[in-house]
Amino acid sequence: MYVGRTVFAQLMEHLPAYEFQKCVARYGGAFRKRSFSCLDQFFCLGFAQLTYRESLRDIEACLRSVQAKLYHMGFRGRISRSTLADANESIDWRIYADFAQVLITTARPMYADEPLGFDLDSTVYALDSTTIALCLSVFPWARFQSTNGAVKLHTLLDLRGSIPAFIGVSDGKRSDVSILDEIPPEAGAFYVMDRGYLDFARLHTFHRAGAWFVSRTKADILMHQCSSRPVDKTTGLRSDQTVLLTSVVSRKHYPDPLRRIHFQDLDKHCSLGFLTNNFDLPALTIAQLYQSRWKVELFFKWIKQHLRIKAFYGTSENAVKTQLWIAIAIYVLVAILKKRLALDATLYQILQVLSVTLFEKTPILRAFDDVHAQPKSIISPSQMNLIDF
């Protein structure tokens, strides 16, 4: 009989402890936190994410029920809802934001060879945001509209493996396009975005840096057609043109030529117009690039369904951001686990297995032995199995 470590301890072994301590030291997280450390807080909220706990009282009750196992799972502080609430209020959320970025840096090379679904060797990013609604009377700092509160999760998603390359958390009032100022352009990479990000001054910054962008166009943008290329209309393409902006302000912000492509979506019976600064790829590939943007929408749906990011354990800005960043860190940690252990299960299946085996003292690989042996009917078709990597 296996009498070693719990599945939770084996999972947390994949965390880079030295990097975590560097993040803690960077923001003074260890100051007067001897009885309940930043790592204790991370473990508690990570446990809550993996087991879908509803409240601090719920976390306290579950962890205290296995008090004899906590030390060997890595916990050192005494678990109580008041202590955890104090930590959520006082420990700087930037510790977990920086640590999530460390995990992202580890995970992305593991998925660098994942297919895009069409022939393209470059890195492709999809940029979008999602709004998480909050009650304004409970979260007064998160004012979004006159009667509503919200926070925004701005995400730049690497479409090879659906790992976020950049995440920003802001109040609901921040405009989507302003997040472009925080994203350093990567030469040779493609940035796919909706027309809400169509700001020619910011896009020209990407163009000068050698990055490619693909965006929806707007009907009111004034452009002059310079030339046109033939297209195969049986593929849905309607036109492929080189254009110059003619508005004085737009031309000042983006003086270089742009490529405008019109595409008729035969399935949805709608016409789409794209703008890009890439003149080398076939027009159909540009259309396919934009269509691949749906993966970031599915990413948002997936994390909202499977992570605790819609109900919060604290009401302050620090508590909300701490919970969001730890949720992201757990998502990326599970993605790392999948690659390191060469698991065939999807992320959804891995999360489900972990949720019921965290306290088991069994080799973590054995916990996934029978995942594919179960009847497929036990998985509801309504569950988001979209991130199937």
Contact (CB, 8 A) for 168 and 182? yes
Contact (CB, 8 A) for 242 and 259? yes
Q: How many domains does the chain have?
A: 1
Contact (CB, 8 A) for 286 and 276? yes
Q: Is the confidence at residue 267, as pLDDT, over 80?
A: no
Residue 3 vs residue 94, higher pLDDT = 94
What does the pLDDT read at residue 378? 41
C-alpha dist (Å) from residue 284 to 178, 198, 296: 29, 21, 21
pLDDT-derived band at 300 (thresholds 50, 70, 90) equals very high
Contact (CB, 8 A) for 245 and 254? yes
What does the pLDDT read at residue 1? 44
- Does 254 fall in a domain? no
pLDDT in tens, 156-166: 999 988 899 99
pLDDT-derived band at 69 (thresholds 50, 70, 90) equals confident
- Does 288 fall in a domain? no
Q: What is the mean pLDDT of residues 11-33?
A: 88
- Does 293 fall in a domain? no
C-alpha dist (Å) from residue 221 to 217, 224, 250, 272, 304: 8, 10, 9, 14, 35
Residue 156 vs residue 113, higher pLDDT = 156
Contact (CB, 8 A) for 117 and 183? no
Contact (CB, 8 A) for 175 and 111? no
- Does 185 fall in a domain? no
Lowest mean pLDDT among 65-69, 92-96, 167-171, 174-178: 65-69
Q: What is the mean pLDDT of residues 145-170?
A: 90
- Does 41 fall in a domain? yes
Contact (CB, 8 A) for 153 and 125? no
Portion of the chain with pLDDT greater than 70, in percent: 93
- Does 352 fall in a domain? yes
Q: What are phi and psi of 272, to 5 degrees?
A: -125, 140
Mean pLDDT, the chain, rounded, equals: 88
Q: Is the confidence at residue 377, as pLDDT, over 90?
A: no
Q: Are strands 190-193 and 237-245 parallel, antiparallel or unpaired?
A: unpaired
What does the pLDDT read at residue 73? 84
Contact (CB, 8 A) for 199 and 254? no
Q: Is the confidence at residue 253, as pLDDT, over 70?
A: yes
Dihedral-angle region of residue 28 (phi above 0 means left; psi in -120 to 50 means alpha; beta otherwise): left
| Domain enclosing residue 354, as ranges | 7-99+314-378
pLDDT in tens, 351-369: 999 999 998 888 988 888 8
Query: How many DSSP H helices and E strands does the chain contain?
Result: 13, 9
- Does 244 fall in a domain? no
Q: How far apart are CA 288 and CA 246, in angstroms?
A: 28
What does the pLDDT read at residue 350? 93
- Does 332 fall in a domain? yes
